[in-house]
Amino acid sequence: MQENQVKICLSLAGKTIDENLRILEQYRDKVDLVELRADFLEPSEKFYIRIFPEKARIPSLLSIRRASDGGKFTDGEGVRLVLFAKALSYARSDVSANYAYVELEDDFHIPAIEEACRTFGTRIVRSHHYQKGLPENLDEALAALSREDDEIPRLDVAIQSSGEALRFLRWWIALPPAERIFTLTGVYGLFGHILSSRLGSMWTYARSRHPSDASDRFLFDPAVLHDIYHLREYGPQTELYALLGQKSIAASLSPLIHNTAFRTLEKNALFFPLVVDRIEDGLALLELLGCKGAAITVPFKEDVLPYLAFRSTDVQRIGACNTLVLRDGAWAGYNTDADGFERSLMQFLGRTDLEGMRATIIGAGGAAKSVALSLYRKGAHCLILNRTIMAARELARKYNFLYGHLDDRSIDLISSYSELIVQATSVGMDSEDDPLNFYEFKGTEAVFDLVYHPPRTALLKRAEAAGCQVTNGYRMLCYQAAGQYKLWMNEPPPEIYAHIEP
Ligand code: ATR
């Protein structure tokens, strides 16, 4: 256990006390304290908030969040005051039966309540919820929450952009150590959610993925923080690696893959998502956080090129970079996609080369460029089909391949390039769209769809039904990740990457 051990606070938003206790039981061994969000309770249940800490048997925090602060409570300040008074009264000598913490907003000062907290050992968390982005003056915002020495200031900010995340982080890391809780919400704040203790927050919040959770704030499930990010096991020495991409990476499988590998190999390293809207913000955040490397994904694989001090041969050939390694204080750029695809493809086909094979590549974007390089290296002759013919032409010319339109004008061409069909566009990702719906499978084609979510796209289902051998892009994802491991750790990629299941 590290000295600055991460604390995970399970935020409970059930409608009844019993429901909350049931949720707590699912996670008890993964969390350090619980927040009872009393504003989510049904009216009759609110009378019983006093007994919650005793029943929960874990340090408990009480919050009754008003609608104006993003909560559910609309009954007015008089009623809220009575609820706080009820919850904090009749303090017991066994302090574990009392609330350990209570959250009071910076405009809620009731001396009798504060006095009761101080007398019976309930710590006050003094909060402000900024729901529309960062306050202009962060020093003033923190000062307003820090008037009493024995209170814990809590700044909660719904981060709106990576520029805001950067401004907040620059300010945060320059602060002297003190007891405080900072919560960055929204996808741009995900990194703060995971790195909160490293950055000096007393705890990070997690929420059960539960049907009654109507909140759209992005909170991880405690099991995700515990089982994927191993939050309780990292400390100041942990090496950081980030996944740099846009909003969709919040659901990426890469953190599961890398963190499972790091853990299995006892590497003191953590891989986390860093959502940005500009590559410049991403690079500045990587530097501020002290990251040793990064995985770069859509749409930044090309945007990052001007910032690289070194570009590998594959980066130069593909024109895109998916891996950064910090070397002598500058970023070296690599691309592990072509190798990852190649390994997965050879395994799928059970071959070591593709000399003379005729293959069709669907798409001419970043992913298709890696596929084309890999098929060229293995000796295949390819046909590239793309919605935008100019992009197909440009890619085809590089390797002396054929190209065509992604529609029924190309049917005859596909028929003679159909030993292998590789789908390398994003079409079919989380949808039922089939980019090859004009083509009827014969059953002899091997079909590789780079999309892995859903595991079987409409295209793969159709191919499989026709008797084709099919696979998706999940193993490619694992193998390109293995290539990243090799670059980051400077050692052969471990076999574990071939066996991690989604
Ligand atoms: P990636 O890096 O994931 O490959 P990309 O570079 O944006 O992403 O490339 C996307 C590929 O998917 C391109 O080949 C694109 O075709 P265009 O060049 O015509 O844009 C293809 N694509 C995206 N949406 C498509 C759609 N609805 N129908 C057909 N092709 C599509």
pLDDT in tens, 442-476: 999 999 999 999 999 999 999 999 999 999 999 99
Query: Do residue 257 and residue 352 come from a single domain?
Result: no
pLDDT in tens, 402-432: 999 999 999 999 999 999 999 999 999 989 9
CATH number for the domain harbouring residue 454? 3.40.50.720
CA distances from 256 to 185, 234, 243, 441, 451 (A): 21, 16, 12, 35, 17
Domain-located, residue 232: no
Active-site pick, 7, 46, 301, 486: 301
Domain-located, residue 229: no
Domain-located, residue 90: yes
Extended strands (E) in 208-365? 239-245, 269-275, 293-296, 310-311, 323-327, 330-334, 358-362
Ligand 1 centroid vs 341 CA: distance in angstroms?
Answer: 18
Q: How confident is the model at residue 2 (pLDDT cuts 50, 70, 90)?
A: very low
Query: Do residue 86 and residue 154 come from a single domain?
Result: yes
Domain-located, residue 93: yes
Query: Do residue 72 and residue 214 come from a single domain?
Result: yes
Ligand 1 centroid vs 363 CA: distance in angstroms?
Answer: 6
Please count the structural domains in the chain. 3
**Gap between the Cα atoms of 324 and 413, Å rounded:** 39
CA distances from 180 to 169, 176, 195 (A): 15, 11, 14
Residue among 387, 394, 403, 452 whose CB has most ligand 1 atoms within 8 A, to mutate = 387
Ligand 1 centroid vs 463 CA: distance in angstroms?
Answer: 21
CB-based pocket (< 6 A), ligand 1: 298, 363-368, 386-388, 391, 406, 425-427, 435
User: In the annotation, is 301 catalytic?
Assistant: yes
Residue among 321, 374, 425 whose CB has most ligand 1 atoms within 8 A, to mutate = 425
Domain-located, residue 47: yes
Ligand 1 centroid vs 368 CA: distance in angstroms?
Answer: 9
Ligand 1 centroid vs 372 CA: distance in angstroms?
Answer: 15
Query: Do residue 96 and residue 32 come from a single domain?
Result: yes
For residue 213, is pLDDT > 50?
no
- With a pLDDT cut of 90, the percent of the chain lying above it is 85
Q: Are 476 and 455 in contact (CB under 8 A)?
A: no
Q: Which domain holds residue 365?
A: 338-471
Query: Do residue 57 and residue 181 come from a single domain?
Result: yes
pLDDT at 216: 44
Query: Do residue 434 and residue 349 come from a single domain?
Result: yes
Atom of ligand 1 nearest to the CA of 387: 19
Among 16-25, 202-211, 385-394, name the one with the lowest average pLDDT.
202-211
Q: How confident is the model at residue 224 (pLDDT cuts 50, 70, 90)?
A: confident
For residue 272, is pLDDT > 80?
yes
Query: Do residue 37 and residue 152 come from a single domain?
Result: yes
Amino acid 148 reads E
Atom of ligand 1 nearest to the CA of 406: 29
